[in-house]
Structure 1
Amino acid sequence: MTRPEIDYQAVFEALPAAVALLTPDLVFADTNAAYLAMSGRTREQVVGNYLFDVFPDNPNDPAATGMRNLYASLRRVATSGERDAMALQRYDVEDPEQPGVWQERYWSPVNAPVPAADGTVALVLHRVEEVTELIRARGTRGGDRAQVLESELYTRARELQEVNQRLRQAHAREREVALHLQESMLPAPRPLGHHRAAVRYRPATGALNVCGDWYDLVDLPDSGRTSLAVGDVVGHGLAAAGVMGQLRSALSAASRVTEGPAQALEVLGLYARFVDGAESTTAVSVLIDWTARTLTYSSAGHPPPALCHPDGTVSFLDRATDPPLGARPEHVGRPQAGVDFAEGSVLVLYTDGLIERRHEDIDTGLDRLARSLARHRTADPDTLADALLADLIPPAGITDDTALVVLRL
């Protein structure tokens, strides 16, 4: 059946709920008819103007908190990308026909992010329901009972705000502890023979979705070979950091005693069955033979490493990809592939936070990485790593943490 064409602008206008779209800077981008009717404002008075220039706090009420509470909620949504339902608010509105006269109003707002193609917050959807008549009706029927009800509502609203504040503080503490724990478990950069490498870790912006990514660089003694790996644990916070530490150590040890990346990932997969939270972890391991100038690699559901040749062409190591750890109930050998490299090439391993964006095909992110890598390929590894992050991470930050390894071959 042919899917009907939908006029989403018409749907927006027809919504019975009052809805406004705000930029992350809280400027009105659009409103529907219900919002204008409820607020008593025209489109010209609203669209293109700062929210709190249109609807300031009542200057005659020094205890007014509506603007402050709404601002905090909207900024939280714009920076975290998470929906926020507010407690009942009293937010007086100036009568548009009688300047200086303020109308007592009660609102129940919900604020939600509207993501852009790269996963950042493009707009904030502000949906508001007015409940002033309900409060007044209860006052008419119940006399002093309405005042008691209003007082209880304000008390509950303050309690809810305090609980939310404590939760945010607890999340911030957990995030900080998790980041310190991860930092202590990731290896410090060290020379790989005469070869130059750079590593980077970038946590997700304003979120707990951190501490599941790792990297590892190992020079294998007396063999003229180096093992590189990156991985990504599903989950976040302290739990992910703990699992990450176990898996990184296990793969690092396996890389030293197995014959190649496929066997190392097989060992890691068997070990992961006994680690809670390790299921669906992705990882990729690359073995560099400096004498033969070959790369041998294997991937457990991880984005493919990028190899930039001296002429600027970029190829992705994607011919030995298998499901993530724990995806199969039985043990199956993992594939392995190899490729030659020329002196002066650059190898880049990374986790999905570098290339994946919401509502965007992964090939778009891979193409963005290839173009940036080709453009900066002659830079030293540290400069190249910083350039890749600058090109690929959006200005508003990322919603998933990112590990990056850059090695000059």
Structure 2
Amino acid sequence: MPETPIDYAAVYQALPGMVALLTPDLVFADVNEAFVRGSGRPRADLVGRFLFDVFPDNPNDPAARGAQNLRASLLRVLSTGERDTMAVQRYDVESPERPGEWEQRYWSPVNTPVLGPDGRVVLIVHRIEEVTELIRARGRADGGDGRVLEVELYARARELQELNNRLRQAHAREREVALALQEAMLPSRPQVGPHRAAVRYRPAVGALNVCGDWYDLVDLVGGHRIGVSVGDVVGHGLAAAGVMGQLRSALSAASRVADGPAQALNVVGRYAHVVDGAESATAVTTFVDFDRRTITYSSAGHPPPVLVHLDGRVEFLDRATDPPLDARPDPRPRPEATTVFAPGATLVLYTDGLVERRREDIDTGLLRLSEALRRHRTQDPETLADTVLLALLPPGGATDDTALVVVRL
């Protein structure tokens, strides 16, 4: 039996609570019937207008903070891409019938982002429940007119706001320290003999989940060889930066003495079991042999490296993929595979922030990467790295940090 199509526009209008859709510029894109009734304003006076032109703070109340608090909440949603639930707010509204007269109202708002394919906020669902009568009823039950409860709510709301401000400041300081630590551990110009290589690290924007991505390039003993690796630690801030540093150092050391990339990942996988915070960490490492013109690689749950051949053929190195570093209590030997290259080819390693987007299949991101590399394969590594970031990252930055390594073979 075929499914009956759902009229979501009708559902939106029938919602019992007040719901408005706001653009990133905080302009009303749409309102439902409950919002029209609750605000006392026709839809034509709302849609297309700036939120705070329609609902400013009460100019007769110097202590009014409703609009200021709401603006701060909406800006947090835009910067983080996450839902923001506000404390109960007193937000007086000017009477539509009697301009200049302001009605005392109390609201409980929740602001939720709607994200586009690139992970950026395209709309904000602004849902509010009016609790004015509840506040007044509580005041009458306490033998007053609600003023005592109003003062109490204001005090609690200000305490909560102050706590949120302190938490954001603490998170911002931690983010700055973690980024500085990341920069110190990830050199901007790694040395790999005479070969041209470019590295990039881009922290997430508007979020705290930074400092888990890393890269490494090392000269290997025994012939004309280098090791190129990238990895990703789940988590954020100083904790993730510390774990990242431990795993990167362990893989760098293991690569110098291992017979191949699989053995290097085996060693690091065992080490990850005793490192707090290394759960679900991923990594991929490649051993490039310039004498034999081969790349041997192994992946622990990480997106595949890309080999771009001179003729434009794009080869994903995905024939040796295994679970993340600490996935098995008793690690088994990991697989590895080998491919060949001609001088002038390009090897590219990256972390998932480059290709993954919310509500989009990762194959779409991999296809974008493949096409960008194919079209611009003749660029030098530094220029190609910037071109790839420009082509794949959203204009305002990604919501996950990104590491990228480009090596001309």
Coarse TM-score class (shorter-chain normalised): over 0.9
- Measure, in 2, the Cα distance between the counterparts of 1:145 and 1:337: 77
Alignment of 1:105-184 (within 5 A): 105-144=105-144, 146-184=146-184
Distance 2:156 2:230 in 1: 47
Please state how far the C-alpha of 1:177 moved relative to its aligned partner: 1.2
TM-score normalised by structure 1 residue count:
0.97
Could you tell me which residue of structure 2 aligns to residue 364 of structure 1?
Answer: 364
Contact 1:118 1:359 in 2 (8 A): no
Alignment of 1:9-408 (within 5 A): 9-144=9-144, 146-221=146-221, 223-408=223-408
SS of equivalent residue, structure 2 residue 146:
helix
Compared CA separation, residues 141 and 271, structure 1 to 2 (3 A): closer
State the 1:143 CA deviation: 4.9
The 8 Å contact of residues 282 and 324 in structure 2, kept in 1 or not, is answered as: yes
Instruction: Give the TM-score of the pair, scaled to structure 2.
Output: 0.97
Can you list the C-alpha shifts for 1:333-377, whole angstroms capped at 9, x where unaligned? Answer: 111111111222111100000000010000000001111112221
Residue 42 of structure 1: CA displacement?
Answer: 1.6
SS, match of residue 112 in structure 1? strand
Q: What letter matches 1:15 in structure 2?
A: L
Matched residues in 2 for 1:70 and 1:190: separation?
47
Residue identity in the other structure for 1:405: V
Q: Is the 8 A contact 2:136 2:145 kept in 1?
A: no
Of the structure 1 ranges 225-234 and 189-198, higher mean CA displacement relative to structure 2 is found in 189-198
Residues 225-246 of structure 1: CA distance to partner in whole angstroms, max 9, x if unpaired?
A: 0100000011111111111111
Give the conservation status (yes or no) of the 8 Å contact 1:225–1:290. yes
CA contact (8 A) 1:305 1:316 kept: yes
Range with bigger deviation, 185-194 or 65-74: 185-194
Distance 1:40 1:403 in 2: 51
Deviation at 1:158, TM superposition (A): 0.5
Q: Does the 8 Å contact 2:309/2:345 carry over to 1?
A: yes
Identity %: 70
SS of the residue corresponding to residue 234 of structure 2 reads coil
Equivalent-residue separation in structure 2 for 1:376 and 1:161 (angstroms): 49
Cα deviation for residue 142 of structure 1 reads 4.3
What letter corresponds to residue 402 of structure 1 in structure 2? T
Aligned-partner Cα distance in 2 for 1:140–1:212: 54
Unmatched runs of 5 consecutive residues or more in structure 2: none
Give the CA deviation at 1:281: 0.8
* SS of residue paired to 1:217: strand
Deviates more, 1:89-98 or 1:281-290: 89-98
Residues 166-211 of structure 1 show CA distances to partners (whole Å, capped at 9, x for unaligned) of 0100111111111111222223423422211010111111211011
**Cα drift, residue 140 of structure 1:** 4.3
Deviation at 1:221, TM superposition (A): 3.8
Give SS of 2:319's match: coil
- Which amino acid is the alignment partner of residue 277 of structure 1? G
1:4: how far off? Answer: 4.5
Q: Secondary structure at the match of 2:287?
A: strand
CA distance in 1, matches of 2:55, 2:145: 30
Q: Is the 8 A contact 2:79 2:207 kept in 1?
A: no
